[in-house]
């Protein structure tokens, strides 16, 4: 019953704030779309009050479940503290925030303007543009209510549409010397159906990446197709090996056993 109330858009925020206190989670409304949650000296900014339900059990509990159960990081046993983490489709930055707390340098990419407002408060090194297989401008279909914003039209009743810059991840990283002296421990990709395009724009980074985790859920286009076959075939071609598939979401974790230790070019 409590979780149903927290998830509802019809329940006033003041009621949700009171319900969260049952588990010692404090909530404050910062602006129309921005909320600040706090527990045990851990703060997290989120967007949309209907997402508050995810944190009823606590902020750290939610992030731990996301990182280890959904993105399968329990299998990523060879990550080192000086490994770089690249979070594509970072949303509000939960995964990024976890790795920052462990001492990693993290680059977080999120094209949605509203989600980015929370992301830039939760992490450092946040970038508000899209990633693709070429450097160009594309239409971005924003759907904040469901978190399904994408560069690929998935339904007709999106909230807004606007042009946005997209770049190849490899080009952006190398042109700005963002990885010199680092190995890339993890590339996480959650692109609402555009996972293959993101990976195609990242191939020059593949020799330096230890692990890739990709959300291949049924989110591509108007037919809501999975990108699993295309993504798997593409990454296997470059020598990545499958480690695991999430039971809760269609997320795959792959490993590059031949990853170069540090980027020096």
| Per-residue confidence (pLDDT) for residue 145, from 0 to 100 | 67
Quickly list DSSP for 147-176.
T--BSS---S--SEEEEEEEE-HHHHHHHT
| Per-residue confidence (pLDDT) for residue 214, from 0 to 100 | 98
Radius of gyration of the chain (CA): 18
Q: How many CB atoms lie within 10 A of CB 42?
A: 14
In this predicted structure, the answer to whether residue 264 has a pLDDT above a threshold of 80 is no
Cβ burial 94-121 (10 Å sphere, 16+ → b, else e): bbbbbbbeeebbbbbbbbbbbbbbbbbb
Mean pLDDT to the nearest integer, 5-20: 81
| Per-residue confidence (pLDDT) for residue 8, from 0 to 100 | 80
Report the share of the chain in percent with pLDDT over 90. 69
pLDDT classification of 257: cutoffs 50, 70, 90: confident
pLDDT classification of 116: cutoffs 50, 70, 90: very high
Specify the domain boundaries for CATH 3.40.50.150 within the chain.
62-133+168-255
CA dist 158 and 161 (Å) reads 8
CA dist 87 and 58 (Å) reads 23
Q: For 175-229, how does the pLDDT look when each residue is reduced to its tens digit (9 = 90+)?
A: 999 877 778 999 999 999 999 999 999 999 999 999 999 999 999 999 999 999 9
| Per-residue confidence (pLDDT) for residue 230, from 0 to 100 | 97
Find, among 46, 49, 95, the residue nearest to 68 by Cα.
95
In this predicted structure, the answer to whether residue 7 has a pLDDT above a threshold of 80 is no
Mean pLDDT to the nearest integer, 128-152: 88
Q: For 64-83, how does the pLDDT look when each residue is reduced to its tens digit (9 = 90+)?
A: 999 999 999 988 888 999 99
pLDDT classification of 18: cutoffs 50, 70, 90: confident
Host H or E run for residue 253? strand 251-255
CA dist 39 and 34 (Å) reads 17
| Per-residue confidence (pLDDT) for residue 147, from 0 to 100 | 64
Helix (H, G, I), strand (E, B) or coil at 48: coil
| Per-residue confidence (pLDDT) for residue 144, from 0 to 100 | 67
**Is residue 92 within 8 Å of residue 122, measured between CB atoms?**
yes
| Per-residue confidence (pLDDT) for residue 256, from 0 to 100 | 94
Report the share of the chain in percent with pLDDT over 70. 96
Q: For 36-48, how does the pLDDT look when each residue is reduced to its tens digit (9 = 90+)?
A: 999 999 999 999 8
pLDDT classification of 136: cutoffs 50, 70, 90: very high
**Is residue 259 within 8 Å of residue 183, measured between CB atoms?**
yes
CATH match of 62-133+168-255 with 3.30.530.20 = no
pTM above 0.85, yes or no: yes
pLDDT classification of 21: cutoffs 50, 70, 90: confident
In this predicted structure, the answer to whether residue 138 has a pLDDT above a threshold of 80 is yes
- The conformation of residue 111, written as its DSSP 8-state character, comes to -
Find, among 83, 257, 88, the residue nearest to 170 by Cα.
88
| Per-residue confidence (pLDDT) for residue 262, from 0 to 100 | 62
Q: Kind of pairing, strands 26-29 and 34-39?
A: antiparallel
**Is residue 149 within 8 Å of residue 192, measured between CB atoms?**
yes
| Per-residue confidence (pLDDT) for residue 156, from 0 to 100 | 72
């Amino acid at each position: 019953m409590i979780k149903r109330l927290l998830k509802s858009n019809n329940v006033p925020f003041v009621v949700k704030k009171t319900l969260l206190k049952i588990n010692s989670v404090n909530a404050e409304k910062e602006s129309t779309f921005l909320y600040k949650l706090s527990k045990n000296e851990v703060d997290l900014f989120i967007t949309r009050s209907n997402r508050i339900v995810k944190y009823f059990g606590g902020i750290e509990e939610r992030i731990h479940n996301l990182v280890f159960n959904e993105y399968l990081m329990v299998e990523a046993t060879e990550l080192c503290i000086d490994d770089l983490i690249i979070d594509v489709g970072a949303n509000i930055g939960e995964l990024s925030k976890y790795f920052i707390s462990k001492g990693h340098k993290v680059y977080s990419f999120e094209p949605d303007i509203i989600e980015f407002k929370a992301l830039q408060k939760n992490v450092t090194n946040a970038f508000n543009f899209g990633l693709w297989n070429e450097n160009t401008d594309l239409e971005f279909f924003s759907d904040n209510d469901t978190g399904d914003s994408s560069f690929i039209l998935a339904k007709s009743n999106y909230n807004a549409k606007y042009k946005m810059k997209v770049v190849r991840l490899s080009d952006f990283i190398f042109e700005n010397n963002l990885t010199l002296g680092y190995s890339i421990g993890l590339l996480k990709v959650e692109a609402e159906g555009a996972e293959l395009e993101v990976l195609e724009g990242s191939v020059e980074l593949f020799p330096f990446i230890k692990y890739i985790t990709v959300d291949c859920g049924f989110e591509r286009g108007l037919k809501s197709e999975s990108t699993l076959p295309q993504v798997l075939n593409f990454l296997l071609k470059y020598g990545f090996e499958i480690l695991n598939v999430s039971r809760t979401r269609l997320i795959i974790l792959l490993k590059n056993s031949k990853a170069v230790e540090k980027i020096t070019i």
